[in-house]
Structure 1
């Protein structure tokens, strides 16, 4: 039998999805499974987007341009201007989700063996995209004790060598919900400028910031305009994960030309997805306010309830719709699997993502989980009760 590639062998399984077979088995046994493992909102997609497909009058479902529809890119500039981001249509390349934007950015900017420095815990798929590009993630650990604030910049600088090509941040952060301050962003800017690095900035959660602190985009940073590669997506803010529409944005013309080679090789981003996404730019402000208020309420409830469970601690996320919670168990990989395979409470169980998958070092994060508060408050209330009961039973078993 032919040998599997080294790249395929070292590619990590998704911590968010790897327990799906256990979840499916639990459902087959008749259990109600609360999905806190994945950032899939249960909030309705805006009707204006759905209607764009429902009433579509089109004779041919054609390829779109490799960089996406010009009409959509032009309308996006007005959206970004609301956040004081000076972007023109030529700066934007439409991608098949934010995932493809990250992958194409890595493929265009990094050679095999190059390194990227990333604050951890970090979105798990960054590791997979780096492996796909032949690059290496170098993690700098933040701590739960200070709410996962940016680690000291000296720790970043200590990792920089001749193979270092960039720094990757997510702001607001997935999985921690942390929002980088202006001071922290300026420290990153200075480091990027000093060593002439790329700054890859994933900013898909900018609509969900629960503090008076301002949103500082990487594109707000003066003096590194040519170094910044911004990643965006419509998946979360409009509850349109399935249409797979993202954006890669950069002022660097040479980089855009290079990214376009990969875009042309895959032909075009999704046709239906772009039609929906373009129409959704007309969503009423009331929709966005209601969604924001809903997530704020879910955040407050989830974090407050978690911190009332004996031995559990969660800092207060300032953005996105995730939190990292520390649990009173030694190995959350085993605990999360056990919840799906061996545990139930009144016909229910929970699906949460083990923390180890959000670190380059799989031995880190063993006492933590990521929880996505993307369910209605009533379901979150049930899920938190199930979690508390699961911890009680698991620790009884583990302690003999």
Structure 2
């Protein structure tokens, strides 16, 4: 029989979804499973977006332009210019989810064997996208002890070699929720200009910043115009993960020209999602104000209650809707599976994402889990109680 490719063998499995069979089995046994493993918000999608889909009136479900509908890109450019990006519709390439924006950028900017530096823990699928493009990830560890702040620039420079082509950041960060400061962004700017590197900025969680903190994009920085590629998506902003609609933004004409060729090869982004996405831009600010208020309450509850549990440490994130917590356990993968297979509290349990999958060196995440606070306060409180009781009974507890 023909053999699978080496790339297929190297392609990593998702740490967020790999425990799904155990969760499914727990549900078959009658347990209620609280899903804190994945960033699927329970926040309702804006009515403007849903109504646009309900009211679609076309006779032919046709291809759209490879770069995306002109009307959608025009409206998107207005949205981005309202937050200081100073772009036109021609700087936007509409993609099938934020994931495709990342893969098109990697294929356009990197050759097989090139290297990209990423602070870790990082969004696990970056590994998969890099594998697809033949790019080698050079991780640089951040520490839970300082809330996962950007590592010192001197540590970045130690990793830079002749094949280094770029840096990827996620801001606010998935999985940690860390929000990069102005000073940290300026440091990255200096690094990329000094070594002539691309700076890829994943901004899927841009709208979710708390405690009055300000979001800083490299698109706000003069002198980086030809270095910056932004990835964005409607998935989190409008609680529309299933729409699979994103975009790539850059002022670098060569990247846009190359990216369009990859976009043409996959034909077109989804037609219905673009109709919904265009309508979504009219979502009133009150929607986001309510969402931020709700997520702030959830974050505060999760962080405060986790830190009350003996042996647990959880820094307070400045953005997104995730935390990474350190637990008094021997192995995060074993603990998360045990919670689904062997444990319940009041016939309830919790599905978490082991942090090992967000590190290149899995040992760095052996005592850490990522939790997404995407459930209502009542369910979140019940989930925290399950975690506390689970830690009390887990055979591999270390403290």
Q: Does 1:385 align with 2:385?
A: yes
- 1-structure distance, mates of 2:69, 2:83: 22
1:63-99 Cα shifts (integer Å, max 9, x gaps): 0100111101111112112211111100000000000
Q: Does 1:257 align with 2:257?
A: yes
Alignment partner, residue 334 of structure 1: 334
Alignment partner, residue 124 of structure 2: 124
Give the drift of 1:211: 3.0
Match of 1:235, SS state, is helix
Alignment partner, residue 146 of structure 1: 146
Alignment partner, residue 95 of structure 1: 95
Give the drift of 1:363: 2.5
Give the drift of 1:398: 5.7
Match of 1:210, SS state, is coil
Alignment partner, residue 65 of structure 2: 65
Alignment partner, residue 216 of structure 1: 216
Alignment partner, residue 203 of structure 1: 203
Q: Does 1:185 align with 2:185?
A: yes
Query: Matched residue pairs, number?
Result: 399
Alignment partner, residue 157 of structure 1: 157
Give the drift of 1:142: 0.5
Alignment partner, residue 171 of structure 2: 171
Alignment partner, residue 36 of structure 1: 36
- 1-structure distance, mates of 2:80, 2:211: 20
Match of 2:235, SS state, is coil
Between 278-287 and 37-46, report the one with greater CA deviation: 278-287
Asked whether the 8 Å contact 2:22–2:341 carries over to 1, the reply is yes
Match of 1:229, SS state, is strand
Asked whether the 8 Å contact 2:230–2:249 carries over to 1, the reply is yes
Q: Does 1:232 align with 2:225?
A: no
Match of 1:176, SS state, is coil
- 1-structure distance, mates of 2:343, 2:142: 32
- 2-structure distance, mates of 1:359, 1:232: 23
Give the drift of 1:335: 0.5
- 2-structure distance, mates of 1:55, 1:107: 37
Match of 2:309, SS state, is coil
- 1-structure distance, mates of 2:81, 2:377: 33
- 1-structure distance, mates of 2:94, 2:341: 40
- Structure 1 residues without counterparts, runs of 5 or longer: none
- Structure 2 residues without counterparts, runs of 5 or longer: none
- 1-structure distance, mates of 2:5, 2:362: 21
- 2-structure distance, mates of 1:171, 1:398: 33
Report 1:268-307 matches (<5 A): 268-307=268-307
RMSD: 1.2
- 2-structure distance, mates of 1:363, 1:104: 31
Moved over 3 A (4+): none
Give the drift of 1:152: 0.5
Give the drift of 1:224: 1.4
- 1-structure distance, mates of 2:24, 2:110: 38
Match of 1:269, SS state, is coil
- 1-structure distance, mates of 2:390, 2:214: 39
Give the drift of 1:53: 1.2
Match of 1:74, SS state, is helix
Asked whether the 8 Å contact 2:189–2:224 carries over to 1, the reply is yes
TM-score (normalizing by structure 1): 0.98
- 1-structure distance, mates of 2:281, 2:224: 29
TM-score (normalizing by structure 2): 0.98
